[in-house]
């Protein structure tokens, strides 16, 4: 299975996001693109943010196609680690729809090297994109989210809770997101709920460089004996951000096909 074979379009969904505005980062691909499609299908006006302009254009088109119940899509080229980009995006939302109901902070990068060989610049960049970006997003947008009684969903990873070779900065950033989300939930409740989704092996372009034997090993390590699809994470993000999760905040929800409960998953 390759990332190309993964469907991101959903069939029948309830219009839980009709009249709502959602922002998804890392939305040009994988989990972010699937979440944008899911939210638009449920009626959201989705702002897709990513720094890959060409892929973003395609994802905006796919999201527009998936949209239903008054939903729609627009794209914003943004480096999530760039503070000035967040200020501009906050202005755009304040002067445009004037509301924000869901922030899905999802963009991430991974440089695979053990700590002894990882360049300091690569450590800094991973922390900036995977962790500091969420702080920048919240700093710029929490006023809008509070006014809309909105919600935040962060994308962490099973690497936050299990040590695997070669990902010190990635794992540290994903672990920090779990504590950051609890902290944000405490700071901004009751107006804003904050939760984290914790994916396991999800078939996206992130797996393109992984060998077939390693992919098969990952599949064998899941209780469900397969990769997850981005749409299966998107469904959980859409739940956490919706009124169906109205009493859920400060929580993390693992979406890993049982990878983290299977003994030989390392
Ligand atoms: N795929 C998996 O197996 C898996 C497992 C656990 C967690 N995750 C997490 O899920 C999230 C999405 O991963 P994915 O598999 O869909 O990856 P992906 O590579 O398909 O998508 C990531 C997107 O983020 C964008 N991006 C990267 N740096 C950015 C920046 N500075 N500013 C804006 N956009 C940027 C990329 O252009 C890309 O479109 C990530 O947070 C990842 O850590 C993925």
Q: pLDDT at position 263, please?
A: 67
Torsion angle (degrees, nearest 10) of CA 252, 156, 205, 262: -60
pLDDT band at 2 (very low <50, low <70, confident <90, very high): very low
Flag whether 247 is in a domain.
yes
- Average of pLDDT values for 25-45? 98
The catalytic residues are: 170
Q: pLDDT at position 3, please?
A: 43
Decide whether any atom of ligand 1 lies within 6 Å of the 57 Cβ: no
Decide whether any atom of ligand 1 lies within 6 Å of the 218 Cβ: no
Flag whether 170 is in a domain.
yes
The Cα–Cα gap between 54 and 234 comes to: 22
∠ CA 260-265-266, nearest 5°, is: 110
Residue with the nearest Cα to atom 34 of ligand 1? 50
CA of 32 to the centre of ligand 1 (A): 7
Q: Is the pLDDT of residue 164 over 70?
A: yes
Specify the CATH number for the domain of residue 110: 3.40.50.720
Flag whether 188 is in a domain.
yes
Q: Is the pLDDT of residue 264 over 90?
A: no
Alpha helix (H) ranges present in the chain?
A: 30-41, 53-66, 83-95, 120-127, 133-147, 168-188, 212-220, 230-241
**Peptide bond between residue 193 and the one before it cis (omega within 30 degrees of 0):** no
Decide whether any atom of ligand 1 lies within 6 Å of the 66 Cβ: no
CA of 58 to the centre of ligand 1 (A): 16
Structural tokens at position 212:
């077939």
Flag whether 133 is in a domain.
yes
Find the domain containing 31 and state its range.
Answer: 14-156+165-199+231-254
CA of 109 to the centre of ligand 1 (A): 6
Percent of the chain with pLDDT over 90: 90
What mean pLDDT is reported for the chain? 94
Flag whether 171 is in a domain.
yes
Pairing of strands 193-199, 151-155: parallel
Decide whether any atom of ligand 1 lies within 6 Å of the 219 Cβ: no
CA of 23 to the centre of ligand 1 (A): 15
pLDDT band at 13 (very low <50, low <70, confident <90, very high): confident
Of 122, 135, 206, 234, best ligand 1 pocket probe by most atoms within 8 Å of the beta carbon: 206
Q: Is the pLDDT of residue 24 over 90?
A: yes
Decide whether any atom of ligand 1 lies within 6 Å of the 31 Cβ: yes
Q: pLDDT at position 80, please?
A: 99
- Average of pLDDT values for 61-89? 98
Decide whether any atom of ligand 1 lies within 6 Å of the 29 Cβ: yes
Flag whether 39 is in a domain.
yes
pLDDT band at 1 (very low <50, low <70, confident <90, very high): very low
Q: Is the pLDDT of residue 4 over 70?
A: no
Tell me the helices (H) and strands (E) count for the chain, helix number first.
8, 7
Lowest mean per-residue pLDDT among 2-16, 103-117, 201-215 = 2-16
Q: How many domains does the chain have?
A: 1
- Average of pLDDT values for 34-46? 98
């Amino acid at each position: 299975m390759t990332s190309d074979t993964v469907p991101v379009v959903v069939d029948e969904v309830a219009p839980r996001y009709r009249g709502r505005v959602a922002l998804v980062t890392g939305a040009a691909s994988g989990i972010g693109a699937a979440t944008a499609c899911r939210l638009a299908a449920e009626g959201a006006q989705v702002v897709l943010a990513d720094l890959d302009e060409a892929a973003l254009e395609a994802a905006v088109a796919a999201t527009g196609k998936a949209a239903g119940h008054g939903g729609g899509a627009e794209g914003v080229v943004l480096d999530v680690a760039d503070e000035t980009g967040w200020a501009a995006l906050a202005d755009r939302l304040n002067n445009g729809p004037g509301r924000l109901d869901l922030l899905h902070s999802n963009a991430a990068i991974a440089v695979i090297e053990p700590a002894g060989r990882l360049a300091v610049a690569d450590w800094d960049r991973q922390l900036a994109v995977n962790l500091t970006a969420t702080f920048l997003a919240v700093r710029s947008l929490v006023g809008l989210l509070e006014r809309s009684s909105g919600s935040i969903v962060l994308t962490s990873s099973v690497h936050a809770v299990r040590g695997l070779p070669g990902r010190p900065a990635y794992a540290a950033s994903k672990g920090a997101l779990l504590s950051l989300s609890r902290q944000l939930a405490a700071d901004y409740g009751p107006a804003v709920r904050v939760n984290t989704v914790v994916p396991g092996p999800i078939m996206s372009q992130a797996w393109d460089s992984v060998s077939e034997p390693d992919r098969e090993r990952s599949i064998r390590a899941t209780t469900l004996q397969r990769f997850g699809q981005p749409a299966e994470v998107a469904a959980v993000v859409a739940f956490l951000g919706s009124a169906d999760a109205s009493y859920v905040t400060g929580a993390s929800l693992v979406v890993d096909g049982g990878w983290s409960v299977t003994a030989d998953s390392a």
